[in-house]
Structure 1
Amino acid sequence: MTQKILEVVQTTILKEKPDPSTLEFGKHFSDHMFMMDYTSEEGWHQPRVVPYQSLTLEPAAMVFHYGQTVFEGLKAYRSSNGDIRLFRPEENFKRLNQSCDRLSIPKVNEEAMLEYLKEFVKLDKDWIPKEKGMSLYIRPFIISTEATLDVSPSRAYTLMIILSPVGSFYKGGIDPVSIFVENEYTRAAPGGTGNAKTAGNYSGAYKAQERASSHKKDQVLWLDGVEKKYVEEVGSMNVFFKINDEIHTPALNGSILEGITRKSVIELLESEGMSVCERSISIDEVIAANENGSLQEMFGTGTAAVISPVGRLEYKGRDYEINNGKMGETASWLHETLVGIQTGALDDPFGWSIEVNG
């Protein structure tokens, strides 16, 4: 796949930027958007940056009926000297293609997409907040657009990227979250779409989140879809446990999303000589470890929060406090280190951050 020339059409009317102190996730969008189309005859073509605008789709567009769509999420950061940085964006486009493969969507040119993204971010760089802890959220997504009710993969798609300034996930310091262990509904099962970032995975989780909220818990901890026994992931995060000074995380089994922050945490820990055991972890083992004092920490990893410590767990009507409801030293170190690398405050020996010049 050869790289196409990027067309740029700048808006003539700039939006008023929101007050950084009132930013909410996904509520405000920058002046422009990236678009690229696919047809079975032309392949991916016409990459362009245009003014942010509404879409016109036929009612029969397949995305509305069969949910053939995938997406990604990453961020752009301002360093202390004003440089713009992207954190491992090549991993996001790699995972986007993995999701495309699972949803029978044509793959994109990963190298070309990274170059298009850089140019797009440079154009709307003034939307990247300068305040500490804030960033520009980047949402690439693909929708099927062929107008037919035929139950088969679409022959036409549109890829878009939109940008949204976001505030700090932790506005008043890092507070450990509370988790509701879901043992009725299932997020994913082996052979399903659990390891793809596709829309249905998220809307299918709403009912369980409602249950968690009714129990006054922040997020859902999903168990496996077969035995309802093994821990999989937390809401929009992968999950880690520190047990007897060892780090454990559920092994990728086809129904767990391959988190980029998860991957970074594993590589970061291993660089410090700490091995990470990727294996099947039962919820009963977690509860037993907490009760006998060997569970020292539990935390989630993801783009939004980077590291999110878990302070309380509810399972089968009983609450369990973890690490006295406080953030552990490992989670704290990981958060400080990853954020430091992302923002340029710390050296990046891994080459994870990419500077966007201009």
Structure 2
Amino acid sequence: MSGGDNLDFEIRPHAAPVSDADRATLLANPGFGRIFTDHMVTIRYAEGKGWYEPRVEARAPIAMDPAAAVLHYAQEIFEGLKAYTLPDGGVAMFRPDANAARFGESAKRMAMPVLPPATFLESLKQIITVDRKWIPESDEGSLYLRPFAYASEVFLGVRPAMEYLYLVIASPAGAYFSGGVKPVTVWVTPDYTRAAPGGTGAAKCGGNYAAGLSAQAEAMEHGCDQVVYLDAVERKYIDELGGMNVFFVTDDGTLVTPPLGGTILPGITRDSVIKLAGRAGRRVEERPVSMDEWREGARSGRIREAFACGTAAVITPIGTVRSQDGEFTVADGGSGEVTMGLRKELTDIQRGRAEDPFGWVQRVL
């Protein structure tokens, strides 16, 4: 279920792009996910034909039939990554090959055609090139890229669709945290689970996030920023947060994170943290961590820091943990030294301010 790698993109420039003055106003405070660039990428797929009609065109509403399969059976996947301005004025992406690979794995899990990695990467380069002026010039600015695909075939029936549409849209992003990085408060949900063994936990599909909205609303009702999920079998071990993976730092400097195992999204930031820590000689353990271990570890001082990580916020310290059993604070509730050190090391590599020993940064312009 894949097409050829050699697709030539047709460029259809926007007839009336946003003016330089209006774009400058928008980029002064872009926030996150609120404004979008002039263009988008589209590629179609049909069973027996493969991927075809790759285009860069004006971003516009998508015509969709009421019987489009995605609206009824939710065959949809997406990715999220960023493009950054380099110190010399160039532009680069961070580990887009890893996003391409995960996009392919998500497609397989959702019975969708796999977009060739080379085509995935080229689609990102195309939109970055045509909308280069939309990248904020601020120190924390970036261009957030959202590739996604969905079943576009018009039919009602429980089977994999035979037609799909792949798109890339781009959104200028400023600093994720206004006023700097601050520790977040998290809520451990007693009622909801994110994924079960054999489910879609390892796929980046919209349904996983839709199913988590009630849990996130529950967290907000308890004055928390994010929800923490426990495993679906024993309801005992920590899986991940609503939109991020989680790490713990012990008193001897060891990093501990829950193992993937098919129920946790294989985060690219998570993998980057593991590799950075290993290169620095820091011990990393991928093993189950129970809620009781976290609570007792925070009380005894065995667990000195905890942080969440993901593309949007990079690395975020966790200060307070709330649950139906009460709340506790990790250390002094502040931003730990190991957490913030890893965050700086990672962002410096992403933005070309430090050596890239892993070849993660891929220059586009």
Q: What's the TM-score, normalizing by structure 2?
A: 0.96
Are 1:332 and 2:340 an aligned pair? yes
SS of the counterpart of 1:221?
strand
Correspondent of 1:170 among 165, 177, 202: 177
| Partner residue, 2:218 | 211
2:31, 2:176 within 8 Å by CA — same for their partners in 1?
Answer: no
Q: Deviations over 1:289-309 (max 9, x none)?
A: 111111100001100111000
| Partner residue, 2:198 | 191
> Which whole-Å CA distance do the structure 2 matches of 1:356 and 1:256 have between them?
31
SS of the counterpart of 1:325?
coil
1:36, 1:44 within 8 Å by CA — same for their partners in 2?
Answer: yes
> Which whole-Å CA distance do the structure 2 matches of 1:280 and 1:120 have between them?
40
SS of the counterpart of 2:348?
helix
Correspondent of 2:322 among 314, 320, 332: 314
| Partner residue, 1:114 | 121
1:181, 1:222 within 8 Å by CA — same for their partners in 2?
Answer: yes
Are 1:257 and 2:265 an aligned pair? yes
2:83, 2:143 within 8 Å by CA — same for their partners in 1?
Answer: yes
| Partner residue, 2:277 | 269
Amino acid aligned to 1:341: I
| Partner residue, 1:76 | 83
> Which whole-Å CA distance do the structure 2 matches of 1:89 and 1:336 have between them?
20
| Partner residue, 1:288 | 296
> Which whole-Å CA distance do the structure 1 matches of 2:261 and 2:101 have between them?
18
Q: Which ranges in structure 2 are unaligned for 5 or more consecutive residues?
A: none
Are 1:3 and 2:10 an aligned pair? no
SS of the counterpart of 2:118?
helix
2:93, 2:362 within 8 Å by CA — same for their partners in 1?
Answer: yes
Bigger Cα displacement from structure 2, 16-25 vs 46-55: 16-25
Compute the displacement of 1:315 (Å). 2.2
> Which whole-Å CA distance do the structure 2 matches of 1:78 and 1:7 have between them?
26
2:69, 2:152 within 8 Å by CA — same for their partners in 1?
Answer: yes
Q: Deviations over 1:30-85 (max 9, x none)?
A: 11000000000211111110111111011000000010000000000112221101
| Partner residue, 1:179 | 186
Amino acid aligned to 2:277: L
**Kindly, what percent of the aligned residue pairs are identical?**
41
Amino acid aligned to 2:258: P
Q: Deviations over 1:214-236 (max 9, x none)?
A: 11000001100111100000111
Are 1:31 and 2:38 an aligned pair? yes
1:3, 1:109 within 8 Å by CA — same for their partners in 2?
Answer: no
> Which whole-Å CA distance do the structure 2 matches of 1:157 and 1:139 have between them?
17
Q: Which ranges in structure 1 are unaligned for 5 or more consecutive residues?
A: none
Amino acid aligned to 2:32: F
Compute the displacement of 1:312 (Å). 0.4
Q: Deviations over 1:195-219 (max 9, x none)?
A: 1010110011111111111110000
Correspondent of 1:53 among 39, 60, 85: 60
SS of the counterpart of 1:324?
coil
Amino acid aligned to 1:22: N
SS of the counterpart of 2:202?
coil
> Which whole-Å CA distance do the structure 1 matches of 2:325 and 2:174 have between them?
34
Compute the displacement of 1:138 (Å). 0.2
> Which whole-Å CA distance do the structure 1 matches of 2:266 and 2:186 have between them?
21
> Which whole-Å CA distance do the structure 2 matches of 1:212 and 1:251 have between them?
24
> Which whole-Å CA distance do the structure 1 matches of 2:218 and 2:61 have between them?
34
Equivalenced residue count is: 357
Q: Deviations over 1:100-156 (max 9, x none)?
A: 000000101102221232122111100011111111100000010111111110000
Q: Deviations over 1:232-274 (max 9, x none)?
A: 0011110000122211000011010000000000000000011
Amino acid aligned to 2:283: S
Are 1:229 and 2:232 an aligned pair? no
**Misfit runs of 4+, over 2 Å:** 18-22
| Partner residue, 2:95 | 88
Amino acid aligned to 1:262: R
| Partner residue, 2:17 | 14
Compute the displacement of 1:336 (Å). 0.5
